[in-house]
Structure 1
Amino acid sequence: MKLQVYESQVNLKTYQMQKLNELLVFIKGFNEFYKEKLKSIHLPILSLKDVSRLPFTTKSELAEDQTLYPPYGRNHSYPEGSYIRYHQTSGTTGRPLKVLDTTASWNWWSDCWVEVLKSAGVTNNDRAYLAFSFGPFIGFWAAHEAVQKLGSIAIPGGSMSSAERLNSMLQNRATVLLCTPSYALHLAEVAEQIGLNIKDSTIEKIIAAGEPGGSVPSTRSQIERLWGAKLYDHVGMTEMGAYGYSCQEQNGLHVNETQFIVEVINPDSLEHVGPGERGELVLTNLGRFGYPMIRYRTGDAVVYKPEACACGNPFLLLPGGMLGRTDDMVVIRGVNIYPSSLEAIIREFDSIKEFRILYYTEQEMNQVKIQIEGPDAVVPLLAQLLRKRIGLRIDVERVEDNSLARFTMKARRVIDKRTDGVSV
């Protein structure tokens, strides 16, 4: 990866502290939300150890702030007339947050996305098809801006059926597809149903986002086999920015450390964890002055590797990408269960078209069941593999084809019917 001038001349940690202090000076003066949170903090911040003195930011306090100061809350540093973009979180883990961006902050967002495209090898000779519905969820909005900024052709696929999108990308000879991993699989299923040959199409690269599946080897290999294209993962958050992307090695996600400070903490002790230890990802964005985020607890479970990646990118690598949510673990008969771990096993069976995970209570004990669309013969094979890998007997139930939901954006395949649980 070719480093920009300031990155090659200045030590990365020094550069991060400079950008962080610029941001902190600004928000202590102009951002009402952080002015209150940071009132006891003395500047400058000189090291990552000093960063630990800054308070965490959580989604729940942002949501509460928007309730107390409707509709947008106080974490907007400029007068409302300075903002030009409205976004809304998906609401997967609670009440949606409303987020505004200024022209400068939105330009920063798209610059971060340009790095995602470059890491996947996208150039101005590509035609990028964006297969998603354009709405308040930020989705691939910034990707659309970045594709144009890179000089590529951006082909939007909003307000179309899956069949129409497939025909559009083939007719326009798109070379890059941008969508969620679930939707890439669903598009392949639809293509088979209507007799379209996507494996020999012009699609060479798929950039996935919105779900952990892009970094799950079994999910990635299934998508690549169906499309005859290489899959790259990307991760970002409406409230944070586009902070991570995979590389040619496809061995995890790099965090764009020129624009984000990354920490991995134990969610219980709140102390930093060591390399290879599972922890919660904490991020600080450095260039979004209109909507800053200081030490934001993302709720995403990751591990980190300090060694340089073989691709040459010097930025911190998160092997395996997003490993799940720190709050999505369920204990079943003494075994820790993560939905992402179950998906990694299920996706090893190409014949399974769709699946759903059910948590429920039976005789006062928590249980888990997997429902699949696939042939009868795969049921005992999947059950056997789950028991071998997870160390737990998990019921597998075949359901009628096309009876399970399909998703164009973030998939919601977990249904929690435990007596102390809720649907997620």
Structure 2
Amino acid sequence: MIMHSSSPNKLHEDQLAKLNELLSFAKNQNKFYQKKWGQIQLPLSSLQQLEEFPLTLKQELVEDQNNNGGYGSNHSFPVEEYTRYHQTSGTSGSPLKVLDTAESWAWWEDCWLEVYRSSGVTKKDRVFLAFSFGPFIGFWAAFEAAKKNRSLVITGGSQSTKERLYCMLENNATVLLCTPSYALHLAEVAKDLGIDLQNSTITKVITAGEPGGSVPSIRRQIETLWGATLFDHVGMTEMGAYGYSCTEQNGIHINEAEFIAEVLDQDTLKPVANGEKGELVLTNLGRFGYPLIRYRTADVVLKSDEVCACGNPYKFFPGGVLGRADDMVVIRGINIYPSSIEAIVREFAAVKEFRVVYFTENGMDQIKVQIESAADIIAELSTLLRDRVGLRIAVERVEADSLPRFTMKSKRVLDERIKRG
């Protein structure tokens, strides 16, 4: 059972105290925020005053690193004080290089412990990490936190998909950690090998890296294939492990003990009302070596004052991360999020893999969905896409195994549009 602050007032008091400590530190030690803020008055008397601070953008951090010797000025200590190096995946632009001190890395581990506790992972579990352990932060903190949780940790490392399947089965692993895409790919390979995953020892799958684990159609497909319960986790290399799902499996909790969350309109940058979608803006409270104050995550969430039935009082976003603001495109006047397309496609168990293709025809931007499917579901899927998205989307059936597979973050969008101007 996770222990949280006993009341909203106590939680906000704790957040304000941590926030003032971090802001005071950054004002004195962090050159990036010293330059960004100018003269600020501290301490803050309320959390609402945080809204007066400027937002932090990823592009700012990238430019800062380009202009300030590789690691940038947002690292609060001399380089020799840091013990961990990671970088973002670079799927949405230039990768960020992020360093952590021993203290900041311990904070990361504690954030991941909250994920395990919410998923019911204990020292009796055997945790298998299907992750390559390169410079992308991925499940590095999950590995360390599993050790701190006193679970048996089994790493997939540089193994092939086939080797990982046999390793987790031979060692009676009970928890699998991977991306949603890779959970589906593992199940596809297991079927080809004649492995019965539904009767394996895996009882829990914890996903990260993509919006998908909180999407009902994707979650149901993974749970059916694995005969296990799926729990989602959300985090960012530059921000930290900020959220997780629970036994109710219908959204994401923000770890408010360590993060302050805002939901802003992407155009006005003002708070949205309950029931409205907006961009998630986060402040991490315990990462002094690499603080981020009011960081625009580009994650789209639904703001809600709903209290989850699991009993966790922390801020809750129904449906989890709904998509990425920087992934959205406008096709014939309709806002398209690839994650919304995936949620529909994954309702069809016959689809092994898919890809969204944007292209230009007769001077107009168009969209089609390519699928690898054992059955002819083109008409049915086309109808569902039109009804749900509000747009006619062509569906094209392609040869088996012709689309790429992914072990980490998937890239299921091919943009072939003609660039204008």
Matched with 1:100 is: 99
Matched with 1:3 is: 3
Matched with 1:18 is: 17
Q: How far apart, in 1, do the equivalents of 2:203 and 2:70 lie?
A: 43
SS at match of 1:382: helix
Matched with 1:128 is: 127
Shift of 1:108: 0.1
Give the gaps of 5 or more residues in structure 1: none
RMSD over aligned CA atoms reads 1.3
Shift of 1:110: 0.5
**Which amino acid is the alignment partner of residue 391 of structure 2?**
L
Q: 1:241 to 1:7 in 2, by over 3 A?
A: farther
SS at match of 2:70: coil
Q: How far apart, in 1, do the equivalents of 2:49 and 2:357 lie?
A: 44
Matched with 1:348 is: 347
Shift of 1:38: 2.1
Matched with 2:161 is: 162
Q: How far apart, in 1, do the equivalents of 2:292 and 2:120 lie?
A: 29
Equivalent residues in 2 for 1:349-368 (5 A)?
Answer: 349-368=348-367
Matched with 1:289 is: 288
Q: How far apart, in 2, do the equivalents of 1:334 and 1:34 lie?
A: 39
Deviations 1:167-225 (A, max 9, x none): 00000000000000000000000000011111100000000000001011000000000
SS at match of 2:325: coil
SS at match of 2:326: coil
Is the counterpart of residue 89 in structure 1 residue 83 in structure 2? no
Q: How far apart, in 2, do the equivalents of 1:240 and 1:179 lie?
A: 19
Is the counterpart of residue 323 in structure 1 residue 322 in structure 2? yes
Deviations 1:26-65 (A, max 9, x none): 1111111111112221111222320111111110000000
Q: How far apart, in 1, do the equivalents of 2:350 and 2:83 lie?
A: 46
Shift of 1:92: 1.0
Is the counterpart of residue 245 in structure 1 residue 244 in structure 2? yes
Equivalent residues in 2 for 1:244-283 (5 A)?
Answer: 244-283=243-282
Matched with 2:207 is: 208
TM-score (norm 1): 0.97
SS at match of 1:52: helix
Equivalent residues in 2 for 1:215-254 (5 A)?
Answer: 215-254=214-253
2:373–2:400 CA contact under 8 A, matched in 1: yes
Q: 1:376 to 1:196 in 2, by over 3 A?
A: closer
Q: How far apart, in 2, do the equivalents of 1:326 and 1:40 lie?
A: 31
Deviating more after overlay: 105-114 vs 333-342: 333-342
SS at match of 2:94: coil
1:130–1:144 CA contact under 8 A, matched in 2: yes
**Which amino acid is the alignment partner of residue 187 of structure 2?**
A
**Which amino acid is the alignment partner of residue 348 of structure 1?**
E
Q: How far apart, in 1, do the equivalents of 2:264 and 2:190 lie?
A: 43
Matched with 2:28 is: 29
Q: How far apart, in 2, do the equivalents of 1:173 and 1:66 lie?
A: 44
Q: 1:385 to 1:9 in 2, by over 3 A?
A: closer
Matched with 1:405 is: 404
**Which amino acid is the alignment partner of residue 400 of structure 1?**
E
Shift of 1:326: 1.3
Displacement over 3 Å in runs of 4+: 6-10
Shift of 1:391: 1.9
Shift of 1:389: 1.5
Shift of 1:228: 0.1
SS at match of 1:165: helix
Matched with 1:67 is: 66
Aligned length: 420
Give the gaps of 5 or more residues in structure 2: none
**Which amino acid is the alignment partner of residue 61 of structure 1?**
E
Shift of 1:375: 2.9
**Which amino acid is the alignment partner of residue 366 of structure 2?**
Q
**Which amino acid is the alignment partner of residue 334 of structure 1?**
G
Q: How far apart, in 2, do the equivalents of 1:394 and 1:220 lie?
A: 24
Q: How far apart, in 2, do the equivalents of 1:80 and 1:91 lie?
A: 23
Matched with 2:382 is: 383
TM-score (norm 2): 0.98
SS at match of 1:36: helix
Shift of 1:8: 6.5
Q: Percent identity?
A: 62
Deviations 1:234-276 (A, max 9, x none): 0000000000000000010000000000000011111000111
Q: How far apart, in 2, do the equivalents of 1:41 and 1:411 lie?
A: 41
SS at match of 1:247: coil
Shift of 1:9: 10
**Which amino acid is the alignment partner of residue 122 of structure 1?**
V
1:358–1:416 CA contact under 8 A, matched in 2: yes
Shift of 1:331: 1.8
Q: 1:66 to 1:376 in 2, by over 3 A?
A: same
Shift of 1:10: 6.8
Shift of 1:376: 4.7
1:304–1:316 CA contact under 8 A, matched in 2: no
SS at match of 1:235: strand
Q: How far apart, in 2, do the equivalents of 1:376 and 1:247 lie?
A: 34
Deviating more after overlay: 7-16 vs 145-154: 7-16
Q: How far apart, in 2, do the equivalents of 1:280 and 1:274 lie?
A: 12
**Which amino acid is the alignment partner of residue 175 of structure 1?**
T
